[in-house]
Structure 1
């Protein structure tokens, strides 16, 4: 995470998913004594600003007024979570993705809804997710529902593959579990092969029975230091002979948060967490927190 950052940034387009994202972001900010910044990108204005089309000025004014209404309602939602929360707002004639990626440089976390419908001038949050997840400079939370609600109970789940980005994800997952008073499930998959026939062959060639003890030890070593820092977090280790995407999606059915690196190579065959993280933000049944690789400043 950005060291010293004091702001949680959330994008909104007024859709139900975006409202849930604002509520979730406000809860995170309030619990951790952070500020909240609600943003809305006027992508419509960017696209048509320089076109000489009759009536475009009126449409632009309408888009601005609609954006102000969306942001005002989002602010009310945030303050309903905690009336003492410091809430800022920002409406910018820029695409949602560009706006959020730019703000991520100084944010503690960027939060998005898992989908968005975007009215005239709206940011269309859903279309921004993939870009923000792959380009942001801080962790990105995608708030997904289970059925009609966003889950708030259950463990925090983290994907572990031994890569540097995964190590960051493990650290953040422990922090999240400690904040939430939740248990932690540390999941390590031995393969990213999804075809069962190939996977059966891999098991035969690799002699899985002899591999398992080594993998158990490696997973324990990767968690040991973090467990010492957070002794109150109860940890369950899970090793699976499965595609990490499928195993983490399964865990999301009972979790309140899944934490993964945005990319990674490691473990026995190397978890390709880039594809895994993208799948999770589209299909998980709970919020997903994607940890971006640390970059030199």
Structure 2
């Protein structure tokens, strides 16, 4: 799908200019479809060209999608990388999981056979954990469940946290018995811990919570840090 407000006929351009833009963006979609079919000839690929604001269009499509995939080029500004407004709008507003392919993410063919999932709250069922297990099963990948404490803890406290993490994973492990799982208890800040683990992963999966009365998901500092710094692709899973 490609969406752009430049295609919206508000009279600011000539009809010839609008037609030229449509032809240009249509060729873009045709090339994308041909590329996808070149990789997977049996894939069903449909294209859509929309005269809409891109972020709004993608959020709308997320209501009926299983997954949205978007590239996130990191632009340098004010001394550090920033993400585009469209990517951030999608990350905070999408109703389905969003796969962000960052500039530093490995190619699919060479990506490590490992998926990392960040586990924040271990006392409740997590869609992010479930999504990570299912993806690991589909890929035949190892799953590394990471819980970061954000400070120094005694050995006993870390052992207790590990027990709680194991309990959070137990139901999913029984559902996906073929997935090899490891548990990591880190004393680092969650964002730093997950960024470090992304170096050996194909994907890092985290959840986005939904606050009552607020229509958009709260991406949080961990999600922002991953999108700016992760060395793998990042999946944001809405928890509602």
Distance 1:111 1:278 in 2: 17
SS of structure 2 residue aligned to 1:172: helix
| Contact 2:113–2:139, Cα closer than 8 Å, also in 1 | no
Counterpart residue number, 2:231: 285
Q: 1:79 maps to what in 2?
A: 37
Contact 1:146–1:253 under 8 Å retained in 2: no
User: Which residue in the other structure is 2:90 paired with?
Assistant: 132
| Matched length | 226
Question: In the superposition, relative to structure 1, how do residues 76 and 172 fare at CA in structure 2: closer, same or farther (>3 Å)?
Answer: same
Find out whether 1:230 has 2:188 as its counterpart: no
In structure 2, relative to structure 1, the CA distance for the partners of 1:113 and 1:166 (3 Å cut) is: farther
Q: Which deviations, in whole Å up to 9, do the C-alpha atoms of 1:214-253 show, x marking residues without a partner?
A: 1011001001111111111111110001111111111111
TM normalised by structure 1 equals 0.70
Q: Please name the residue that 2:193 is paired with.
A: 247
**Residue matched to 1:28:** none
Residue 3 of structure 2: aligned partner:
41
Once the two structures are superposed, the pairs formed by residues 20-39 of structure 1 within 5 Å of their partners are 39=1
Alignment CA distance shift 1:66-1:116 (3 Å): farther
Q: Determine whether 1:104 maps to 2:62.
A: yes
Stretches of structure 1 lacking an aligned partner (at least 5 in a row): 1-38, 118-124, 192-198, 266-271
1:275 offset after TM fit, Å? 1.6
- What displacement does 1:153 show? 2.2
For the residue of structure 2 that corresponds to 1:162, the secondary structure is coil
Q: Displacement, 1:166?
A: 7.2
| Distance of aligned partners of 1:45 and 1:163 in 2 relative to their CA distance in 1, 3 Å threshold | farther
Q: Counterpart of 1:181?
A: 140
Q: Which residue of 2 aligns with 1:144?
A: 102
Q: 1:209 aligns with which of 130, 155, 158?
A: 155
Partners of 1:116 and 1:243 in 2: CA distance: 23
Residues 106 and 78 from structure 1, CA distance in 2 versus in 1: closer, same or farther, beyond 3 angstroms? same
Give the TM-score normalised by structure 2: 0.85
Mean Cα deviation higher: 125-134 or 81-90:
125-134
Looking at structure 2, the residues matched to 90 and 116 of structure 1 have their Cα atoms a distance apart, in angstroms, of 26
Q: Where in structure 2 are there 5+ consecutive unaligned residues? A: 76-82, 212-217
- Following TM superposition, by how much is the alpha carbon of 1:127 offset from its aligned partner in structure 2, in angstroms? 3.3
Cα-Cα RMSD: 2.5
- Structure 1 residue aligned with 2:127: 168
Q: Report if aligned partners of 1:156, 1:173 keep a CA contact under 8 Å in 2.
A: yes
Note the C-alpha offset of 1:163. 6.0
Cα distance, 1:281 vs. partner?
A: 1.9
SS in 2 for 1:99: helix
Is the strand fraction higher in 1 or 2? 2
Q: Which moved more, 1:81-90 or 1:125-134?
A: 125-134
| Separation of aligned partners in 1, 2:106 and 2:63 | 32
What is the aligned partner in structure 2 of residue 35 from structure 1?
none
125-134 or 226-235: which moved more? 125-134
